[in-house]
Amino acid sequence: MRAIDMHVHVPRQPGNPDMVVEQQLRKYFRVQNAPRDAAEVAAKYRELDIFGVVFSIDDETAMGDPPDTNDYVASIVRAYPDQFIGFATVDPWKGKAAVSELERAVSELGLRGLKLHPIQQAFFPDDSRFYPLYERCQALGVPVLLHSGFAAAGAGMPGGAGLKLKHSRPIPHIDDIAADFPKLTVIMAHPAWPWIDEQIAVALHKPNVYIDLSGWAPRYIPEPLIREANGRLRDKVLFGSDYPYLPPDRWLKEFAELPIKEEVRGKILLENARRVLGL
C-alpha cells in the first residue's frame, strides 16, 4: 500500500441526478474524465496502489439533492474490500432519524466513520441539537470527518448557491466539539483557509483532532500548514485528494515536490491514517 487517501467521493448512486453543485464543481476543478461508476474508481486506486476512504454527502434538507444511501456506499466497500473502507453520511437536520441511520450504517453496514459537510448541509457543527450524532460516534468508536474552511461548492455561482462559509470555521465550531467529546476523533477536511491559523491551533491544542489535506493541490497549500505538518503536526496530518475533483496521482506528484522531511512523508501518506482508522 503506497498511501491512504482519506477523501474520496463516490460516483452518484445509479438513478440519482447530479447534485445541484456538481457541474459547477467540475468546472471549478477543471475535471476531465470523471468516473462513471465505482468500478472505474477502484481500478484507478488499484493501479496507483492507494487505499481510499469513500463517502457521499446527504444534503437533502439544505440543497434538495436526493441522497446516495449508506447501503450504496457499503456495497462499494463490499465489492472492493482491498481498495476501500466507507464512511456514513447523514442529514443532521433529520434529528433522531439521522442518529438511528448512523447507528445502522456503522453497526449493520460496517461503515467506519461519519462524513459531514456543514456548508452544504447548512448547520453549525457545535449547535447542541446535533450533539447526539457526536455522542453516537464516540460510543461507536468511529471518527467524524468535518469539512472546514473555504468551499469550492458554489464558488462563482450567484450568492455562492446560497452556501455560507461561516458554518465551517474551526473556532469555535470544531474546537467546541473536540473539547466536549474528548474521546471522539475529529478530522478537519481540507486546509481551512482563510482560517489556517485557527485550524493549526485546534489541531495543536486538541489531541483528538487531525487535518486532511484534500481539496488543495499541494503547491497551493498555505505555507504555515506545510511548516507545521513538517514539525509539530507531523503526527496529525493526513493525505486526502478530494477525488474526482482532484486526482490522487496529481496530488501525490505535487506533494513529492514539497520540502517535506523524508521521515514525515510516510506519516502523512500512510502511517497517520492507518492509526486514525485503526487499520
CATH number, domain containing residue 79: 3.20.20.140
Evaluate whether 175 touches 202 at the Cβ level (below 8 Å): yes
- Domain containing 51: what range? 3-277
Beta bridge partners of 266: none
**Residue 33 — pLDDT band, cuts 50, 70, 90?**
confident
The tally of domains found in the chain comes to: 1
What is the mean pLDDT of the segment spanning 112-116? 98
Averaged pLDDT score across all residues of the chain: 97
Q: What is the pLDDT of residues 219-273, one digit of tens each?
A: 999 999 999 999 999 999 999 999 999 999 999 999 999 999 999 999 999 999 9
pLDDT above 90 coverage of the chain, percent: 98
Q: What is the pLDDT of residue 261?
A: 96
What is the mean pLDDT of the segment spanning 10-34? 94
Q: What is the pLDDT of residue 32?
A: 87
**What's the pTM?**
0.96
Q: What is the pLDDT of residue 1?
A: 87
Q: What is the pLDDT of residue 114?
A: 98
What is the mean pLDDT of the segment spanning 112-130? 98
Cell (9 digits) for 246: 482532484
Q: What is the pLDDT of residue 4?
A: 98
**Residue 37 — pLDDT band, cuts 50, 70, 90?**
very high
Cell (9 digits) for 107: 453497526
Q: What is the pLDDT of residues 150-200, one digit of tens each?
A: 999 999 999 999 999 999 999 999 999 999 999 999 999 999 999 999 999
What is the mean pLDDT of the segment spanning 69-91? 98
**Residue 101 — pLDDT band, cuts 50, 70, 90?**
very high
